[in-house]
Chain A
C-alpha cells in the first residue's frame, strides 16, 4: 500500500526521547502507521489466537463437509436427545449427542457456522461501505449536508437496534439469511457513519489536505487518496468489533423466533429449540452457545488487537 504509507501520519512517539530518529547509517524502513500497526499485531497474543480461530471458522463455513459426513437436517429418531452422550467417545461426533429430532448436534454445529459468519461479514461489509460513504460526505462537506445527514443518522440511531430489527423481520414470513442481513444493515449503518464523520472532520484539517486542495486536486481524489486512508483506522476498529455484535444479534433474533428459522441451520435456531428442553438435556443448549460465544469472542478480540495496534495512545 505505497499510497497509504506516503500520507499516513507517523504515530506519536511513546516517550519524547525514547524513540529517536532512525540512524542514518542503517537503511531503516520508515515506519508508517500501518507498518507499525502490523509489527504490533504480530506480537499480540490476542491477535494470534483470534486469527487462528477465525481462520478455522471461515474454513468450516466454506467447507462444512470437510468436518462432518453427517447431515445436519436428517434426523434419526432412534437417537433421541435423551440418549446420554457417550463419555468415552470424546472428540467423536457422538460425544455431542443428538437433538429432539435425532439430528447430530455436531453436524448442526458445523453447518450452522455458515449462517452466523455470513450474517456477520455481510452486514459489516454493507454498513462499512454505506455508513462510511455517508460519514465521509457529512464530514467533508459539512454545513447543511452535514446537518441533514446527521439528523437522519440520529433518527435511525434513536430506534433501539434489536426492537427495530424485530419489527422489520416480523413482516417477512420467509426469513432467509439475506433478509436478516438486510434488516441488521438497515439499522446498523449509523454507527459507522458517526465514527467516519468524526474521523474525516479531524483529518480534513490536516495540512496535507489543505495542500492537496491548494494544488487543485479534485474532490474525489482528495476524499479517496488523502482523507480516506487516514480516517480509516477508527472505522476498521469499530467495524471489526461490530462484526461480533452482528453475529450475536442474529442469534438473539433467531432465538426470539424472529430471525432465521428452520430449515436454515443456525446456532440461534438450535439454541431456541434447545431452550425448551433445558432441564432434561442442557447439553443441546450448551454446544451452540459455546460455538456462538467463541465466534463472537474471536472477532471482538481481533477488533481489540487492531484497536491497540492502530491507536498509539492506547499502548
Chain B
C-alpha cells in the first residue's frame, strides 16, 4: 500500500511539470502579444513595448522563462502580477477561487447523488422500463450542449417561472448557486449514471453475486454489500478526474449566470492575452486535478484489495 502510494506520487511529479510546461508553451509560444494587447488597436511605440517586455521577462528564451516562473511559484509562492490591473495573481485567484470551488462542489454533490441514484435504479432494472427511461434521459442530457442547457434553465426557471434570479448576486448564496450547479453538473451526472448502470448490470451477472444469492443473503445485502462495492470501482475513477473538469468547465456556466469565479477570470485572461494569469489559474487547476486523482487512487486501493499488491 505504501509503495503503491509512493509510486503514484512519483509519477505525478513529471505530470505536474509537464502539464504546466505545456500550458506555458501554448500561451507564450503561440502568436499574439500580451503587451501589445495592452494598448489595444492604437498601439504604442516599439521602445515602450520592448521595455515592458523586458520588465515581464518576455524577452527571455521560453524555457528560461518557464524555469524562472516555476521557481517563483514553488519557492516564493509568487504567481506574478496581472498586467492589466497590476494586482498579484495569487490575490486575483484567491478572490475568484472560493466561489468556483463551491459551485464545483455543489455540482459534484448533485452529480454524485442523482447520478448514482439513477444508475443504480437503471442497473438493477437492466432491460426494463426504468432502465430505458434513464437511458433516454441521460442521452438527452449528454446531447444538449451545456450553454444551451444553461439558456433553457434560465429561460424556464428565471424568465418564465421566476423561481431564481437570472444572475448570481455578489453574496453568492448557496441557493443562488443551485441552478448554475445543476447546469454545470448535468453532463457528468449523465456519465455517472451511465457508468454506474453499466457496472451494476455487468456485475449483477458475476459469479460472486450468484454465490451471495445462493448463500441465502437478503436482497439488500446482496446488492448493498456484494454488488455495490465492486460496481463503484469504475465510477470512483471517473468522479476523481471530474472535480478538476468541473472547475475547468465552469467557464460557460459562470458566464451564463454571471458568477465571478475562476471561469470568468480565465475567460477574460484568455481574451485579453494575460498569459501569466492563464498559466497561474491552469496551474492551480492542474494541482486540484492531481490531488483529486491521488485521492481516487487511494480510494481505489481501499475498494479493491487486488491492486494494493499490483
A touching B, CB within 8 angstroms: yes
A interface, CB within 8 angstroms of B: 151-152, 154-156, 158-164, 166-168, 170-172, 244, 248, 251-252, 255-258, 271, 275, 278-279, 282, 285, 289, 292-294, 296-297, 300-301, 304, 313-314
A244 vs B140: C-alpha distance when bound (angstroms) = 12
Chain A residues near B142 (CB, 8 Å)? 244, 296, 300
Contact with A along B31-52 (1 / 0, CB 8 A): 1100000000000000000000
Chain B residues near A279 (CB, 8 Å)? 159
Name the contact of B249 in the complex, choosing from A160, A170, A292 (C-beta under 8 A): A160
Name the contact of B285 in the complex, choosing from A151, A163, A293, A313 (C-beta under 8 A): A163
Q: Interface stretch among B12-20, B55-63, B109-117, B172-180?
A: B12-20
A159 contacts B282, C-beta separation under 8 Å? yes
A282 vs B251: C-alpha distance when bound (angstroms) = 23
B22 contacts A156, C-beta separation under 8 Å? yes
Given the interface pairs A256-B255, A278-B151, the reply to whether A293 lies near B270 with Cβ below 8 Å is no
Name the contact of A158 in the complex, choosing from B15, B159, B251, B252 (C-beta under 8 A): B15
B interface, CB within 8 angstroms of A: 11, 14-16, 18-19, 22-23, 26-27, 30-32, 135, 139-140, 142-148, 151, 155, 159, 198, 201-202, 205, 244-245, 247-249, 251-252, 255, 266-267, 270-271, 273, 278, 282, 285-286, 289-290
B145 contacts A155, C-beta separation under 8 Å? no
A170 contacts B15, C-beta separation under 8 Å? no
A120 vs B188: C-alpha distance when bound (angstroms) = 21
Query: Could you tell me the distance in whole angstroms from the C-beta of A186 to the nearest C-beta in chain B?
Result: 9
Given the interface pairs A170-B271, A256-B251, the reply to whether A160 lies near B244 with Cβ below 8 Å is yes
B32 contacts A155, C-beta separation under 8 Å? no
Name the contact of B26 in the complex, choosing from A164, A251, A257 (C-beta under 8 A): A164
B15 contacts A154, C-beta separation under 8 Å? yes
Chain A residues near B14 (CB, 8 Å)? 151, 155
Chain B residues near A167 (CB, 8 Å)? 23, 26-27, 30, 270, 278, 282
A121 vs B148: C-alpha distance when bound (angstroms) = 22
A282 vs B154: C-alpha distance when bound (angstroms) = 12
A41 vs B159: C-alpha distance when bound (angstroms) = 43
Query: Could you tell me the distance in whole angstroms from the C-beta of A53 to the nearest C-beta in chain B?
Result: 11
**Chain A binding surface SS class:** helix
B147 contacts A255, C-beta separation under 8 Å? yes
Chain B residues near A172 (CB, 8 Å)? 30-31
Chain A residues near B247 (CB, 8 Å)? 160
B145 contacts A163, C-beta separation under 8 Å? no
B151 contacts A304, C-beta separation under 8 Å? no
Which A residue's beta carbon lies closest to that of B202?
A313
A155 vs B155: C-alpha distance when bound (angstroms) = 39
Which B residue's beta carbon lies closest to that of A292?
B145
A149 vs B82: C-alpha distance when bound (angstroms) = 35
A2 vs B268: C-alpha distance when bound (angstroms) = 55
A171 contacts B30, C-beta separation under 8 Å? yes
Chain B residues near A282 (CB, 8 Å)? 155
Which A residue's beta carbon lies closest to that of B246?
A160
Given the interface pairs A282-B155, A293-B145, A296-B145, the reply to whether A155 lies near B248 with Cβ below 8 Å is no
Which B residue's beta carbon lies closest to that of A251?
B145
For B27, B146, B148, B273, which residue has the most chain A Cβ atoms within 10 angstroms?
B148
A161 vs B282: C-alpha distance when bound (angstroms) = 11
Given the interface pairs A170-B273, A282-B155, A313-B202, the reply to whether A162 lies near B248 with Cβ below 8 Å is yes
A131 vs B270: C-alpha distance when bound (angstroms) = 28
A256 vs B11: C-alpha distance when bound (angstroms) = 35
A222 vs B142: C-alpha distance when bound (angstroms) = 38
A171 vs B15: C-alpha distance when bound (angstroms) = 25
A244 vs B148: C-alpha distance when bound (angstroms) = 15
A296 contacts B15, C-beta separation under 8 Å? no
For B19, B145, B252, B290, which residue has the most chain A Cβ atoms within 10 angstroms?
B145
A154 vs B151: C-alpha distance when bound (angstroms) = 34
Chain B residues near A275 (CB, 8 Å)? 151
A167 vs B16: C-alpha distance when bound (angstroms) = 18
Chain B residues near A170 (CB, 8 Å)? 32, 270-271, 273
B19 contacts A159, C-beta separation under 8 Å? yes
Which A residue's beta carbon lies closest to that of B197?
A314
For A162, A294, A300, which residue has the most chain B Cβ atoms within 10 angstroms?
A162
A158 vs B151: C-alpha distance when bound (angstroms) = 29
Chain B residues near A162 (CB, 8 Å)? 248-249, 251-252
Sample 23 A-B pairs with CB under 8 A, ordered by A number.
A151-B14, A151-B15, A151-B18, A156-B22, A159-B286, A160-B244, A162-B248, A162-B252, A163-B266, A164-B23, A167-B27, A170-B273, A172-B31, A252-B145, A252-B252, A255-B252, A256-B267, A257-B271, A271-B148, A293-B140, A293-B145, A297-B140, A301-B139
B15 contacts A271, C-beta separation under 8 Å? no
Which A residue's beta carbon lies closest to that of B256?
A275
B266 contacts A297, C-beta separation under 8 Å? no
Query: Could you tell me the distance in whole angstroms from the C-beta of A162 to the nearest C-beta in chain B?
Result: 6
A270 vs B290: C-alpha distance when bound (angstroms) = 37
Chain B residues near A156 (CB, 8 Å)? 19, 22
